[in-house]
C-alpha cells in the first residue's frame, strides 16, 4: 500500500508538471502573449487545486481514499488530454481550462493519496510516511521535468504547439495507467485496502 501510493504520487506530480514546464514558453515566447497572460494561465492549476483539496478530504472519508485518488487521476488525465488537443490550436482560454482541470485532478488525487500513505504505516512511523511522501512529490517533479523535456526534444518537428500537444498526450497516457492502478486499490483485498 505504501509503495503503490508513493509511486502514484511520483507519476501524478511528474505528469502534471508538463504545463508548468512548457506552457509559459509557448504563450510568451512562441505566441507573443504577455507575461501576465502566461502567469494567469499557470495560476489556474494551483487555484483549482486549492479549491478542490478540502472537498477531496471529505469525499475520501465517504468513498475511501483509493477511489477518490483514482477519480483525481482520471480528471488529471482529462486535463492533460485537453491540453494535448488545444495546444496546437493556440487557444489561450483552452489552455487555461486544461490547466485548471489539471489542478482539479491534482487536488482530488493528493489529499486521499496522502491519507492512503499514512494509513499504510503504523502510528509510530507517521514521520517516515510524511517525509517519504514529500520526497516522492519532489522526485515526481524532477523525473517529470527530465522525461518530458526529453520526450519533447525527441519529438520536435511539427511546430511548438503540436510538439507540446504530443507531450501533453504522452503525460495523459501515463496518468491514465496510474488511474487504473489507483482504481484497483479500491477493489483489492487485504494490504492494498489499508487506507480505507
pLDDT digits (tens, 9 = 90+) for 83-117: 999 999 989 999 999 999 999 999 999 888 888 77
Q: What is the pLDDT of residue 132?
A: 81
CA 150 – CA 144 distance, rounded (Å): 10
- What's the rounded Cα separation, in Å, for the pair 130 and 134? 6
- Strand positions, DSSP E, the chain: none
Model pTM score: 0.88
Tens digits of per-residue pLDDT, 2-40?
Answer: 778 888 888 998 898 888 889 998 999 899 999 999 999
What percent of the chain stands above pLDDT 90? 40
Amino acid at each position: 500500500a505504501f509503495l503503490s501510493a508513493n509511486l502514484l504520487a511520483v507519476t501524478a506530480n511528474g505528469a502534471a508538471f508538463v504545463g508548468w514546464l512548457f506552457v509559459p514558453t509557448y504563450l510568451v515566447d512562441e505566441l507573443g502573449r504577455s507575461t501576465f497572460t502566461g502567469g494567469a494561465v499557470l495560476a489556474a492549476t494551483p487555484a483549482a487545486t486549492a479549491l478542490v483539496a478540502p472537498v477531496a478530504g471529505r469525499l475520501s472519508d465517504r468513498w475511501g481514499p483509493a477511489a477518490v485518488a483514482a477519480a483525481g487521476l482520471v480528471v488529471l488525465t482529462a486535463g492533460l488530454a485537453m491540453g494535448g488537443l488545444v495546444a496546437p490550436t493556440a487557444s489561450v482560454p483552452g489552455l487555461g481550462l486544461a490547466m485548471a482541470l489539471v489542478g482539479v485532478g491534482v487536488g482530488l488525487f493528493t489529499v486521499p493519496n496522502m491519507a492512503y500513505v499514512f494509513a499504510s504505516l503504523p502510528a509510530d512511523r507517521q514521520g517516515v510516511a510524511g517525509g517519504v511522501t514529500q520526497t516522492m512529490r519532489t522526485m515526481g517533479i524532477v523525473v517529470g521535468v527530465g522525461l518530458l523535456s526529453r520526450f519533447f526534444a525527441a519529438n520536435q518537428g511539427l511546430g511548438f504547439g503540436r510538439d507540446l500537444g504530443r507531450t501533453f498526450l504522452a503525460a495523459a497516457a501515463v496518468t491514465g495507467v496510474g488511474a487504473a492502478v489507483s482504481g484497483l486499490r479500491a477493489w483489492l483485498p487485504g494490504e492494498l485496502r489499508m487506507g480505507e
